[in-house]
Structures are given as C-alpha cells and as structure tokens.
C-alpha cells in the first residue's frame, strides 16, 4: 500500500487528545488507531509488538545484517491537536496543482490561497491533500505514522536492503505534552531515534523551545456597579492589566526563528473570578527563565497595588531544548542530513518553534532529532500535505536505515 493510501486510512480515525482529561491516554479513541497499527505490524511480520494499557505501541524489525550496528528507532504520535476538530475528517486530493486558490468549503467561504500561504507556489504540479474546511487534516502526525509504516513495509519486502535492528514507537498525547510520560526508554532499547513529526520537506531539527505552562487565577469582588466605587475588584479588568504588562513584541504573531513568546491560550471570567492559561516558550534557557520571572514579578506588582493577594500563578515546566543532548551525538543529525541529500531533498536545519516527544525522550536518554513529514499549516482548517513530500520522507527513513549499516 502506498503512503498516500495509508495516510488517508489513518486520518479517518478521530484521535484528538484531550487536555482536560487526567486519564492515560487522554482520549480512548487513540486506541482505535493503535489497534489498527498493531494488526498492520503483525501482518508485516515484525517482532516484539506491544500495545500497553496506556496506548503506547512498540515493535521491532530484526536486523538482516551480520554487522554490529546501532539500534535505531522511528517514532510518531497517534493523537491530533485539540485545537481543531479531528472528527469525521473529509479530505480532497488536488492533482497537478496549478498554483491558484483551492476552495475548501464554499458554505463558509474557506479558501486555501497562495496569497495567504505563498508556500503553495512551491508545489505547482504536485499532488496535494487538503481538508474540506471543516476539520484539521491530521498530517500532524498521521503523515509521520504513514511514512514510518510505508518505509518498514518496503524494508520487509526488500530483504536485499541491509539494515540493523529497527525499533518503531507510536505514542499518545504528544499534542498536550504527555507523549513521553509513560515511555519506557530502557525497555525500548534503541541507541538513538528520530521523530517523524516535522513540517515541510527537508526540515531537520535538533533544537526546540524550552516550554512551560502558566496558569493565572484572579479573585475579584463583585459589587453592584451603582455603588461600586472603591469596593468592586473586577477580576476581568485585572486580567487585562496582567496581560498588558507582558511585552507585546513577545507574542507568537510577532515572533519568528529563535524568538520566544508568551501565548494566551484561554481566558474565562466574571467580575468575581477570572482564569487565564498561557504557554511560555524560548530556545534560550536564560531568556526562558526571565520570562517566568517576569510573570511572577507582574503578579507581585498587582498584589502590591491592591495590598492583598488577588492574583496567583502556577508555572510548570513542560520540556527543555534537546540541543544539549543532541550535540554530543551530532553524527545522528549528519546521518539524517546525508539521507536527505541521497533522496535529492535539500536539508533545512532549523530550530523547532514547538516541541516533540523527541525533546523529552532526549532528556530521558534517547537522543531524538526530528525529521519532516511534508505537512503545512498544522492544527487547523488550512492544513495540507503534498503526496510527493510524504514519498520523500519514506525514502529518507529507508536511507537512514540502510546507511547506518554502511557506516559500520
């Protein structure tokens, strides 16, 4: 089965993770895809196939070479983002794309246009898979799953291609920062790995954000507005004051490359009580710590103004920049780079403006750079992926797998 066909099969399964759930996994529908993958892995003849009660799937493709080579792994995540619905995904295939607007949804006038997304011009003549403007597509990360499964299928069908032991891992809940929570690195038994979870063709990443969540709670005091003078404490207004104390140039819409940000994800409130949820991101650890300190300083300032504690914050670190763990084994980045060049793909080494399971796994003892899936505009209605980019990702995975033998 071609990578396109696998991908289309997988996106039909709703696997949205749920940030409000405390269960593992956060949504039971992730098991549906996990079970399907277990069956496919069994049909391919892989060994040591395991699906845990927390929805982690692992498997082993045995070595077919006498050489002593490192055990490599390829990892992708089962869940899709909770930001946009992944239920009843409808896709469309645009063959020989002509460079013009693509109508996604006439009812809501949702158009995928090169005026808004100039990158589309890079794919004139290619085959694009898009949404129909009602859900996300799910390339993040079902494209990665499809690419890994297609590469493994190729290796099982072509025993003349020599490779060492290859481990496969599919994780739940990556999109809500829990993908590595119950991953047993020691039992997995790989020397290094690659997450197949990147964006456009050629992406190769070994740097990511340092990340934290910031929860803000503001307790106000509601008094009839006709008699509110010097008595009312409007928690919504204080929330606005807190937000405006954060630098405007450090919001996602104003940053790029290595620039970090504060991102307000959610806000709900009344005069009595307002809650806000942020994420904090920065590649530079010192700047990351300063951002957390600024949030605390602003809280102290507001509480001092009211001479009582009316605002509080809870800050939790989520993951850290894997660069520190990858640089000592930089040859694994070079291995991926060479595999791309062999596939006639130009490597684009850049920092991830986000995170992957690989970031946490790297700190857990499994160095894990990230390679491209080929997708664009993840997490939203405008998501698309060129079929040719997926095919190149498959080729890169195969090249990595065979080239490790040639180097030993």
Catalytic residue among 79, 203, 207, 282: 79
Q: Would you call 272 exposed, middle or buried from its count of C-beta atoms within 10 A (0-12, 13-18, 19+)? A: middle
DSSP for residue 376: B
Q: What are the strands, taking DSSP E only, across 247-388? A: 261-269, 273-282, 311-319, 348-349, 370-372, 384-386
Cα–Cα distance measured from residue 215 to residue 211, given in angstroms and rounded to the nearest whole number: 13
* First-residue to last-residue Cα distance in the chain: 32
**Residue entry with tokens 């409130």:** 269
Among the listed residues 40, 147, 174, 391, the single catalytic one is 174
Q: Is residue 391 within 8 Å of 343, Cβ to Cβ?
A: no
Alpha carbons 143 and 6: distance in angstroms, whole number: 9
- Neighbour tally for 300: CB within 10 Å: 11
Residue 167 has, within 13 A of its CA and on its CB side, a CA count of: 24
H or E stretch at 287? helix 285-306
8 Å CB contact between 48 and 167? no
174: annotated active-site residue: yes
Query: Given phi > 0 = left and psi -120 to 50 = alpha, else beta, which region is 344?
Result: left
Alpha-carbon distance 46 to 187, whole Å? Answer: 17
Nearest residue to 25 (alpha-carbon basis) of 204, 233, 147, 174: 174
Burial of 313 (0-12, 13-18, 19+ CB in 10 A): middle
Q: Nearest-CA neighbor of 138 among 278, 312, 294, 12?
A: 12
At 276, give phi and psi (nearest 5°). -130, 145
300 is catalytic: no
Structure tokens at 288: 């990351």
Q: Which residues are catalytic?
A: 79, 174
């Amino acid at each position: 089965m071609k990578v396109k066909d696998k991908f289309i099969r997988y996106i039909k399964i709703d696997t949205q993770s749920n940030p409000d759930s405390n269960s593992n996994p956060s949504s039971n529908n992730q098991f549906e895809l996990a079970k399907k993958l277990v069956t496919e892995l069994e049909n391919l003849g892989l060994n040591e196939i395991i699906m845990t009660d927390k929805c982690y799937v692992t498997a082993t493709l045995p070595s077919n070479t006498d050489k002593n080579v490192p055990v490599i792994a390829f990892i992708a995540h089962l869940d899709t983002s909770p930001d946009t619905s992944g239920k009843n995904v409808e896709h469309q295939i645009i063959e020989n794309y002509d460079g013009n607007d693509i109508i996604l949804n006439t009812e809501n006038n949702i158009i995928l246009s090169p005026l808004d997304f100039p990158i589309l011009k890079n794919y004139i003549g290619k085959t694009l898979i898009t949404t129909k403007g009602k859900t996300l597509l799910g390339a993040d990360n079902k494209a990665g799953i499809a690419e890994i499964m297609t590469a493994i299928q190729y290796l099982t069908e072509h025993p003349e291609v020599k490779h060492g032991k290859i481990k496969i891992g599919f994780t739940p809940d990556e999109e809500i920062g829990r993908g590595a929570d119950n991953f047993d690195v020691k039992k997995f038994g790989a020397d290094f790995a690659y997450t197949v979870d990147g964006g456009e063709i050629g992406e190769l990443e070994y740097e990511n954000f340092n990340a934290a969540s910031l929860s803000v709670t503001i307790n106000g005091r509601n008094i009839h507005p006709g008699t509110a003078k010097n008595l009312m404490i409007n928690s919504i207004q204080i929330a606005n004051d807190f937000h405006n104390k954060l630098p405007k140039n450090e919001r996602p819409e104003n940053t790029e490359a290595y620039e970090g940000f504060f991102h307000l994800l959610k806000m709900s409130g009344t005069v009595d009580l307002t809650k806000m949820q942020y994420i904090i991101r920065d590649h530079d650890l010192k700047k990351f710590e300063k951002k957390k300190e600024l949030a605390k300083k602003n809280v102290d300032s507001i509480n001092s103004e009211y001479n009582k504690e009316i605002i509080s914050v809870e800050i939790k670190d989520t993951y850290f920049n894997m660069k520190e763990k990858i640089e000592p084994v930089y040859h694994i980045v070079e291995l991926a780079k060479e595999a791309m060049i062999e596939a006639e793909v130009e490597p684009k080494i850049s920092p991830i403006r986000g995170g992957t399971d690989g970031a946490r796994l790297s700190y857990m003892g499994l160095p894990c750079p990230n390679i491209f899936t080929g997708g664009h505009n993840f997490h939203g209605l405008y998501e698309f992926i060129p079929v040719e980019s997926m095919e190149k990702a498959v080729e890169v995975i195969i090249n990595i797998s065979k080239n490790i033998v040639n180097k030993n």
